[in-house]
Amino acid sequence: MAWSGLSVQVGGMSSHPVLLAGTWRPSQSTGSFHAENPATGQPLPGDYPISSWADCDTALTAATAAAALLRAAPPETIARFLTRYAERIEARKTELVEMAHAESGLPKAPRLGDVELPRTTNQLRQAAAAVLEGSWAMPTIDTKLNLRSVLAPIGPVWVFGPNNFPFAFNGIAGGDFVAAIATGNPVIAKSNTSHPGTSRLLAEEAIAAVGEAGLPPATVQLLYRTSHADGERLVADPRTGAIGYTGSRSAGLKLKAAADAAGKPFYAELSSVNPVIILPGALAERGAKLAEEFSASALMASGQFCTSPSLILLVAGDATEQFIATVKTRLEAAPVAPLLSSAVARALAASVQTLQTHGAQVVTGGQLLPAPGCRYANTTLRVTGDGFLAAPEKLQTEAFGNASLLVVVRDIAQIATILGHLEGNLTGALYTDTQGSDDQHYAVLEPLLRSRVGRLLNDKMPTGVAVSPAMNHGGPYPSTSHPGFTAVGIPAALRRFAALQCYDNVRAARLPAGLQDKNPNGKMWRLIDGQWSQGNVGG
């Protein structure tokens, strides 16, 4: 049943309801907010509530009850939900794309309708397949000691969605949501305030799919916004099992501190400048092509990807100056797309100012643009290697948006020194020539860069993140809160929201299906006495 037109009176104004315990109901709110159209800078219709602790408490109580029921849910039931949800999203594609476009300013085609929405439904279907197959849970059996262990649901999961992917990372449809549901956990989604309407439409289809699959009604719940204090309280609540967070570093670290103090797993994507090293041979061989590649990558979605190349290292020389001049020309000729919100534009301006204050010089851009919309000039800055090393922390400030910093170093040795000062990043790239003249430099720099990034690229910009079992969308702190996990890639992403459970001398009939002697589906890989097998114990 669709509820798109539903609204309730809150504090004398019409406000959309929240989804709690299987029903759309008025929020016990402390106020309201509205989304804006970043292309025009104008508010969009519809008020959304800022939930009080009462809403959070209701959600946690309902999710706790749902978690107990979900533990007994057959894999087929969870997989049916994931599949039906994907189908329902596809059936409502036009309305979802229109809403996401209005709230984000991102193009309807190809970005939202042809790329991001299909990626979202693909994630759901990949997770359904992983649930049915079951190997993600890593069942392990030691017949000699009669010990058996398996990954199992961890409990209610809060998912905080980011502003830059209204579908694929949405709190109630994206990767963290999919992973938590696939592992058998209920999700309480906290919508990003930039796209509450998109989250609401997705939630309508999610709760309908819950009913069709026969899952507990509180398997999926949605709040739009809470106070910072309630955010810190809810991540630390004893009923919370784990948290998935994608967003700003400052807010994420406050939530992480609260979760850490309570011993709650907090999986966060926080900040990344994604260093790209262009070695001299590559620059001499194909400098114009590399300037084109970099410019296109840096401006993709106005630079609002967590993997956008924001820090470029080049060795001083004529080829580097020509590269910078070509980039300047390309950025000045390229259209300036709207940023995701006025808040993003203000934050970008503040970050660029920080870079300038600590020695970076503007090559082009460097200012907010007048109305209409939330726009910032396509921007590149430069600094010397010595200048970077004088303030390495400040010059790694993430400028989230269409801005990047070029570091022009003396020599390869100075690149190595800079790499020693880098924080953890999601990605890092090395460009080399095709004739081997850069190979010796690569051998020196690759180990240094490798330890600083989750995904290492060669001769490729980092802005694509494939939904592949081999993908690592994670990295050392502060790119994420834990370097051992990925937010993209099934089955690995599922394991973040699971707890390892061990059974010692437990009778066969009392064991979970995946730990019994008979392989429950004949496809699940299990580690039996040190050997991976799809067979039965003793078979």
Three-state SS sequence of 121-136: HHHHHHHHHHHHHCHH
- Shared domain for 58 and 174, answered yes or no, is yes
Range of the domain at 74: 49-139+154-269
Q: Name the domain boundary from 405, 429, 458.
A: 458
Q: Catalytic one among 103, 116, 205, 269?
A: 269
133 given a catalytic annotation: no
Phi, psi of 122 (to 5 degrees): -65, -40
Per-residue pLDDT reduced to its tens digit, 176-197:
999 999 999 999 999 999 999 9
Q: Catalytic one among 36, 56, 306, 423?
A: 306
User: Is residue 332 within 8 Å of 378, Cβ to Cβ?
Assistant: yes
Output the six-digit token pair for 97. Answer: 């794309």
Note the Cα 189 to chain centre separation in Å: 14
Dihedral sign from CA coordinates of 197, 199, 204, 205: positive
Indicate whether 177 belongs to any domain: yes
265 CB-near residues (< 8 Å, 6+ apart)? 154, 241, 242, 243, 259, 496, 497
Please tell me the pTM assigned to this model: 0.95
- Shared domain for 116 and 255, answered yes or no, is yes
Indicate whether 103 belongs to any domain: yes
- Shared domain for 346 and 420, answered yes or no, is yes
CA-CA distance, 445 to 448, in Å (whole number)?
Answer: 5
CA-CA distance, 229 to 247, in Å (whole number)?
Answer: 17
Indicate whether 68 belongs to any domain: yes
Judging by beta carbons within 10 Å of its beta carbon (0-12, 13-18, 19+), is residue 235 exposed, middle or buried?
buried
- Shared domain for 302 and 404, answered yes or no, is yes
Q: Which CATH number fits the domain that encloses residue 201?
A: 3.40.605.10
Q: Name the domain boundary from 441, 458, 475.
A: 458
- Shared domain for 218 and 292, answered yes or no, is no
Judging by beta carbons within 10 Å of its beta carbon (0-12, 13-18, 19+), is residue 360 exposed, middle or buried?
buried
Q: Name the domain boundary from 423, 458, 493.
A: 458
292 given a catalytic annotation: no
- Shared domain for 235 and 374, answered yes or no, is no
User: In DSSP terms, which residues pair with 33 in a beta bridge?
Assistant: 48
- Taking each helix axis from N to C terminus, what angle separates 75-91 and 175-182, rounded to the nearest 10 degrees? 150
Helix, strand, coil shares of the chain, percent, nearest 5, are 40, 20, 35
- Shared domain for 250 and 314, answered yes or no, is no
Indicate whether 215 belongs to any domain: yes
**What is the H or E stretch that residue 175 is in?**
helix 175-182
- Shared domain for 279 and 383, answered yes or no, is yes
How many structural domains does the chain have?
2
Per-residue pLDDT of the chain (539 residues; tens, 9 = 90+): 233 334 444 443 458 999 999 999 999 999 999 999 999 999 999 999 999 999 999 999 999 999 999 999 999 999 999 999 999 999 999 999 999 999 999 999 999 999 999 999 999 999 999 999 999 999 999 999 999 999 999 999 999 999 999 999 999 999 999 999 999 999 999 999 999 999 999 999 999 999 999 999 999 999 999 999 999 999 999 999 999 999 999 999 999 999 999 999 999 999 999 999 999 999 999 999 999 999 999 999 999 999 999 999 999 999 999 999 999 999 999 999 999 999 999 999 999 999 999 999 999 999 999 989 999 999 999 999 999 999 999 999 999 999 999 999 999 999 999 999 999 999 999 999 999 999 999 999 999 999 999 999 999 999 989 999 999 999 999 999 999 999 999 999 999 999 999 999 999 999 999 999 999 999 999 999 999 999 999 97
- Shared domain for 246 and 348, answered yes or no, is no
DSSP three-state, residue 496:
helix
Per-residue pLDDT reduced to its tens digit, 431-460:
999 999 999 999 999 999 999 999 999 999
Indicate whether 353 belongs to any domain: yes
450 CB-near residues (< 8 Å, 6+ apart)? 428, 456
Indicate whether 255 belongs to any domain: yes
CA-CA distance, 150 to 311, in Å (whole number)?
Answer: 42
- Shared domain for 118 and 254, answered yes or no, is yes
User: In DSSP terms, which residues pair with 50 in a beta bridge?
Assistant: 31
